[in-house]
Structure 1
């Protein structure tokens, strides 16, 4: 009987030990599960996400160029003489016909007077020889003079007439030389400085000095080089070139505030660079644009189309590939390779790899990997004017595809 009580006591102790061990194991498992949950909660980092933007756009190509004057003239003297006056201020705007320089006109006025006197003498000889010829023709009818005298009178009349023409040409030449003493602006525009000052002697001919220069400013060319693909795609039909939208921005401007038209193309493609030179014309009513300024050119082409737009901050680089990180409805990340187009108003065009309404990580790519859980912080797509409420929400199909 005593043995039975001992056995019973031992059995009770064993049962108590087993019960205590089971409770300990249960508590240990619960602790492990809680630690795992805590670890997963800590792994879900907070990242900025934004909805992919879909907008109707016109494709634009951007180039760098320089402004060029449509008219650029070096002002040179057409006669030799002493420069006695400069009539403009350096760097000022002048109109066509404005007086710029004066060369001493006195020698040329004297030459004109001399030429006029010679013309008067030649005209007097014409009168005399013409009268003599008429008299000899009357006398020849009565045989009062010989035919030789008549022929001589005719020759003298013709010579006198030729002398009048030469004298008139001399007068015209002298008058032109006198006009050349007043050097005027051949075109309207902005004038440079006076290279020769009053008191110096200037010379005409092949070695004539440049007195100053004038560049037109009412309109200017913007010259830039277009790549072969763009030329073939948008510009090869040169009959419609004037309808291609083109705009320009200066170095100190953010956008493209100046609009113009395509005016000309070069006659060949540069095989070294694979580009062709294009000129666009821009109005310059205020005269603030100057030849030589750096210009950013934006060239449009094609019909408006729908496009997927994202912020450049959302794009990652994987060797020669570009990718984004998509966040599905379960807040899990997914690697997505994309094909990029050009930049449109600060947003990157995505040609393939994304759909409108999908959510992508726009800030914090370096802190996550594909498949990681995240805590999304919804923001507006950077550089976009579309509000969060206006942005399309992910559809069920889109979410399922992202979840895959």
Structure 2
């Protein structure tokens, strides 16, 4: 081995030995003692509050739409030119009041023609009846054939049928003549007419005007389906559990009259999960108009033992609303509840909880039903 080669071999050996020695020491140090086990975590800490009996003054707001209690379209049953307008647009009308007149000339002429047809049919029947009576008398003397009498009898029956048809025609023409005068079918406020004198009116097609009965005025709101029982109870016991209903408008003014619940709808809107509640408001001054929007304000006092919890304790999905509570063993329980109104930061609960329950208000995200927790009451 050359001297230079030998020196390179010695240097490589020293470097290799130097790198191995620390590794051996490190491995020896790691294997010298066992790793420590992680400390036990214990029950998850949560913050809870105990439900106490209390009474609350509730004020709730619901978007509302105003609807007239009766809306009637004014159309004519007959065709003709509009001859006269008897009431000004926007006026208040009473049931039976004359509103419009259609050209009556041709309907009057048709009535006269029908009257003449009835008179002619009556005369024809009288003649046929006299013929039958005479032939029948001759038959008793065998002075005429029975066939002739039968033919006379048939002629009488035909004349009677013809007379009935003429009378029906007269009744129809009289009806058309009567309907050429349009009267208000209901009392209420009439709108702006869509036609003017001289315009053609087509039977059953031309919308002439609209009458709305605005007193009382209906007010519709949509409430969550979970609160159906609450409003149904309020409807059934309006005197026993009084609530006040007010209307406020965009200009922050409040309508002077109070309303009352009229009905709760019988179906739930599947798209919104709400149910419609209809109220009735007096409207003698006609200050409320159909189609207006407003805010319905509901005010009431809860019982002295009302259950309420901090609103932040609620867990809500599209399907249900629940609250986590802890029992006497500090075990987490899930409680399905029916929520009511929010008063400040407190949420009224109408079903699902009772006085004395401990409701988790902080740490709900860290626990599940069945977990044992460490409770801090506040």
Q: C-alpha distance in 1, partners of 2:108/2:130?
A: 33
Measure, in 2, the Cα distance between the counterparts of 1:341 and 1:191: 41
Pick one of 193, 200, 217 that aligns with 2:214: 217
Q: Report the Cα offset of residue 254 of structure 1.
A: 4.5
2:223 corresponds, among 226, 238, 241, to 226
What's the CA shift for 1:56?
A: 6.1
Distance (whole Å) between structure 2 residues aligned to residue 301 and residue 130 of structure 1: 81
Q: Which residue of 1 aligns with 2:66?
A: 67
Any idea what SS the aligned residue of 2:279 has? strand
Pairing 1:260–2:259 present = yes
Aligned to 1:247: 245
Give, in angstroms, the shift of residue 266 of structure 1.
2.5
In the TM superposition, what is the alpha-carbon distance from 1:221 to its structure 2 partner?
A: 1.0
Q: How far off is 1:72 after superposition?
A: 0.7
Give 1:94's aligned residue. 93
- Superposition deviation, residue 275 in structure 1: 0.8
Structure 2 Cα separation of the partners of residues 302 and 147 of structure 1? 94
Q: Deviations 1:333-389 (Å, cap 9, x if unpaired)? A: xxxxxxx98577xxx47579xxxxxxxxxxxxxxxxxxxxxxxxxxxxxxxxxxxxx
Kept in 2, the 8 Å contact 1:136–1:145? The answer is yes
Q: Which residue in the other structure is 1:114 paired with?
A: 113
Please tell me whether the aligned partners of residues 191 and 212 of structure 1 are also in contact (alpha carbons under 8 angstroms): yes
What are structure 1's unaligned runs of at least 5 residues?
Answer: 1-53, 309-316, 321-339, 353-403
TM value normalised by structure 1: 0.59
Indicate the SS of the match to 1:204. Answer: coil
- Contact 1:235 1:241 (C-alpha < 8 Å) held by counterparts: no
What TM-score do the two structures reach when normalised by structure 2?
0.63
Mean Cα deviation higher: 242-251 or 172-181: 242-251
Kindly indicate whether the alpha-carbon contact (under 8 Å) linking 2:235 and 2:261 is maintained by their aligned counterparts in 1.
no
User: Are residues 199 and 256 of structure 1, via their aligned partners in 2, closer, same or farther at CA, if it must alter by over 3 Å?
Assistant: closer
Describe the shift of the 1:287–1:293 C-alpha distance in structure 2 as closer, same or farther (beyond 3 A): same
The corresponding residue for 2:203 is 204
Q: What is aligned with 1:276? A: 275
Say whether 1:76 aligns with 2:72. no
Q: Is it true that 1:144 corresponds to 2:143 in the alignment? A: yes
Aligned-residue offset at 1:290? 0.7
What is the correspondence of 1:3-402 to structure 2 with a 5 Å cutoff? Answer: 59-205=58-204, 208-232=205-229, 234-237=230-233, 240=236, 245=243, 247-251=245-249, 252=251, 254-255=253-254, 257-299=256-298, 304-305=303-304, 342=341, 348=344, 350=346
SS in 2 for 1:174: helix
Query: What SS does the corresponding residue of 1:266 show, helix, strand or coil?
Result: strand
RMSD in angstroms over aligned alpha carbons?
Answer: 3.3
Contact 2:244–2:300 (Cα < 8 Å) also in 1? no
- By how many angstroms is 1:246 displaced? 5.0
- Between the aligned partners of 2:197 and 2:85, the Cα distance in structure 1 is 6
Q: Is the 8 A contact 2:55 2:302 kept in 1?
A: no
Q: Is the 8 A contact 1:91 1:191 kept in 2?
A: yes
